[in-house]
Structure 1
Amino acid sequence: MAVESRSFLMLQGVASPFFARLADALRACGHKVYKVNYNAGDLAFWFPRGDHAHYRGTLEQLPAFLESLWQKWGITDQILFGDRRPVHRAAVESAERFGVRTHVFEEGYFRPFWVTLEREGVNGHSLLPRDPDWFRSAATFLRDLPEEKPNRFRSAFRKRAGYDVIYHVAGMLNLFLNPRYQTHSPITAPVEYAGYIARFMRLPFWRKRDAQVIDRLCRESADHPFYLLPLQLNTDAQIRDHSRFDNMQQAIEYVLESFARKASVFSRLLIKNHPLDMGLVDYPGQIDQIVKRLGLVGRVEYIETGNLEKALKSASGTVTVNSTVGMVSLEKNCPTLCLSDPIYNLPGLTWQGEMDDFWQGGGQPDAALFEAFRKVVVHATQINGGFYCFDGISLAVENSAKVLCTEKTPFESLLEACPL
Structure 2
Amino acid sequence: MRRSFLFLQGPCTPFFARLADRLAGVGHAVHRVNFCAGDAAYWRGRPAHRYAGDVAGLRDYLDDCYRRWDITDQVLFGDRRPVHRPAVAHGEAAGVRTHVFEEGYFRPFWVTLEREGVNGHSLLPRDVDWFREASERVGALAKPVRFRSPFRVRAKHDVAYHVAGILNPLLFPRYRTHAPIAAPVEYAAYVRRFTRLRLIRKREHERVKMLVESGRPYFVLPLQLNSDAQIRDHSRFEHMGEVIEYVLESFARHAPGDALLVIKNHPLDMGLMDYTRIIADCEKRLGLAGRTVYLEDGNLDTLLKHACGLVNVNSTTGMVGLDLGVPTLALSDPIYNLPGMSAQAGIDAFWRAPEPPDGELFECFRRVVMYATQINGGFYCGKGIELAVTNASRVLTADRSPLEHLL
TM-score by length of 2: 0.99
1:16 partner amino acid: T
The CA deviation at 1:343 is 0.4
- 1:95 to 2:91 alignment: yes
CA contact (8 A) 1:148 1:378 kept: no
Stretches of 4+ aligned residues off by more than 6 angstroms: none
The CA deviation at 1:412 is 0.5
Which range moved further: 281-290 or 124-133? 281-290
Corresponding residue of 1:83: 79
Which residue, out of 121, 144, 160, partners 1:166? Answer: 160
The CA deviation at 1:6 is 0.5
1:376 & 1:97 partners in 2: Cα distance?
28
Corresponding residue of 1:378: 370
CA contact (8 A) 2:314 2:331 kept: yes
Gaps of 5+ in 1: 416-420
The CA deviation at 1:216 is 1.8
1:317 partner amino acid: G
Give aligned pairs, total: 407
Deviations along 1:72-121, whole A, 9 cap, x unmatched?
A: 11100000000000000000101111100000000000001000000000
Which residue, out of 195, 198, 203, partners 1:209? Answer: 203
CA contact (8 A) 2:109 2:147 kept: yes
Secondary structure of 1:98's aligned partner: coil
The CA deviation at 1:147 is 2.5
1:19 partner amino acid: F
Q: CA RMSD in A?
A: 0.8
Corresponding residue of 1:351: 343
Secondary structure of 1:214's aligned partner: helix
1:134 partner amino acid: W
CA contact (8 A) 1:148 1:379 kept: no
Superposition map of 1:313-392 within 5 A = 313-392=305-384
The CA deviation at 1:292 is 1.3
Corresponding residue of 1:418: none
Secondary structure of 1:341's aligned partner: coil
Corresponding residue of 1:73: 69
The CA deviation at 1:206 is 2.2
2:353 & 2:207 partners in 1: Cα distance?
23
The CA deviation at 1:62 is 0.6
The CA deviation at 1:28 is 1.3
Secondary structure of 1:310's aligned partner: helix
CA contact (8 A) 1:263 1:360 kept: yes
1:253 partner amino acid: E
1:141 & 1:157 partners in 2: Cα distance?
37
Corresponding residue of 1:105: 101
- 1:28 to 2:25 alignment: yes
1:84 & 1:129 partners in 2: Cα distance?
20
The percentage of counterpart residues that share the same residue type is: 60
Secondary structure of 1:48's aligned partner: coil
1:84 partner amino acid: R
Secondary structure of 1:116's aligned partner: strand
Gaps of 5+ in 2: none
The CA deviation at 1:309 is 0.8
Which range moved further: 212-221 or 307-316? 212-221
Secondary structure of 2:56's aligned partner: coil
The CA deviation at 1:340 is 0.3
CA contact (8 A) 2:141 2:371 kept: no
Corresponding residue of 1:17: 14
1:204 & 1:82 partners in 2: Cα distance?
31
